Structure 1
Amino acid sequence: MKDSKKPARKTTGINEPAEAFTAEERAAMKERAKEVKASARRLSRAEKAAEEEAAVVAKIAEMPEPDRVLAERLHAIAKETAPDLAPRLWYGMPAYAKEGKIVFFFQAAQKFNTRYATLGFSDKANLDDGAMWPAAYALTGLTPAAEAQIAALVKKAVS
């Protein structure tokens, strides 16, 4: 007699599509693709810089409160502290670049349905301090002390 055991039926849903990215993440990736396509247009450096800053200002204006207030202040701090940084959109959010490389960025809380907005720094930021240092900060509001701390971080990041 042959043993005719059947393999156990898998209940992990292998044939069901896994949601690898959230709807918000997919939207951010689509925005990034648009940004890359727009930056590939042939414009003079000054025209491109003006267009990218206008896009950042427009994106900030679209944000709901309180994210808009935070983004407006961060934009002002960036312009005052590091005027050589180029504002541009990065995954649909305001970011600031040096020599084409993102140094820091703002991520609105409502963009990814999070509890707080984020100020993040890339590996291009000169913030290295020993074996470990923060690369992102949660923002729930901006006090004068917090603004001074952000200005100091931005200044150090571009040094």
Structure 2
Amino acid sequence: MLRLFVALDFPADVRDRLAGLGGGVPGARWTEADNLHLTLRFIGEVPGDAAADVDAALSEVEAPGFPLVLDGVGVFGSGRNARVLWAGVERSDALAHLQAKVESAVVRAGLPAEERRFSPHVTLARLKDAPKDRIGRFLEDRGLFRAGPFPIDHFTLYRSHLGKGAAVYEALREYPLKS
């Protein structure tokens, strides 16, 4: 079984800026700089033949490249139920178009449609019992974060290896976007 997802990765300087936002929140497990990405579609565990079908369907996706801007920070959940600190993404029709094409390809490959609405973000940290006031301070101190625009010229199929520490992401294939 392979644990897969489709994502956009960022230039090294953007990953470094995102990683630089980390700190100051007890109970936060910060995402390593190399693992920072924007998920277009989480696929989950699939057998190898299904992974080949997903790869074939993704290779047929045609969409233009586009500039992307990261904008602001936020949190999923609230109070004691705060689960994730994230960096936001400026609204982009081109991003929404690409995500819809990727979703369509995954469904064409025989996997069920995603039930959740696409909410583009970059996971900065996962939270466990983080103090509400420290989360609030994090959001206040970093609320004006902005990076980009930077060019998006491909998307990537990743395999996620879970273990004792942080997940290890292995890029299986990059799919170019039209210039």
**Shorter-chain TM band:** under 0.3
Structure having the higher Rg: 1
Instruction: Tell me the TM-score normalized by structure 1.
Output: 0.28
Relative contact order, higher structure (CA 8 A, sep 6+): 2
Question: Which protein is richer in helix relative to its size?
Answer: 1
TM-score scaled by length of structure 2? 0.26
